[in-house]
Amino acid sequence: MNKLDRINVMLVDDHTLLRETLAAYLLQGYPDFGVVLQAADGREAVELYARYQPDVVVMDVYMPYMDGFQATAEILRRFPQARIIILTGIEHSAYSHKAELVGAVRFLDKRVVGDQLVEAIRQVHAGRGGENPKG
């Protein structure tokens, strides 16, 4: 597989262990994933997106400085082509609706199985929103 054919992802979560574990999982387990950027908060996510413009962003909701909804809205305001998945541990229909309102392509519960997250990233990268598995 050519490096240019790989899906470049940015993981945004204030929990370092979660970000690092997901990054290692994606890079080691799936040859179709390339660069995995990491941001610890929404403000950093906006800055990194502007610099690198990854293919897909996986964004947590609760973070310091700028939450995931605000960061999603800002990234999409500046880069309407961005593809963002909101991934959160809070299962609430209002959050799913808010994710849709700010322009996220998908809303996933953090309890999804790793393969479900990988498939969601692939679908979003391919331009399909697909179903929202609750895990």
User: What CATH architecture does domain 3-125 belong to?
Assistant: 3-Layer(aba) Sandwich (3.40)
pTM score: 0.88
- List the domain boundaries for the chain: 3-125
Compute the distance between CA of residue 85 and CA of residue 118 in angstroms, rounded to an integer. 11
Q: What is the pLDDT of residue 97?
A: 76
- For the stretch 40-68, pLDDT in tens is 999 999 999 999 999 999 999 999 999 99
Q: Contact, 121 vs 128, CB < 8 A?
A: no
Q: What is the pLDDT of residue 48?
A: 97
Handedness of CA 62, 15, 53, 31 (dihedral sign): negative
Compute the distance between CA of residue 30 and CA of residue 88 in angstroms, rounded to an integer. 23
Mean pLDDT of all residues in the chain? 87
Q: What is the pLDDT of residue 5?
A: 79
For the record, the structure tokens of 107 come out as: 């809303």
- For the stretch 58-98, pLDDT in tens is 999 999 999 999 999 999 999 999 999 998 877 666 777 77
Residue 110 — pLDDT band, cuts 50, 70, 90? confident
Other CB atoms within 10 Å distance of the CB of residue 52? 11
Compute the distance between CA of residue 6 and CA of residue 34 in angstroms, rounded to an integer. 5
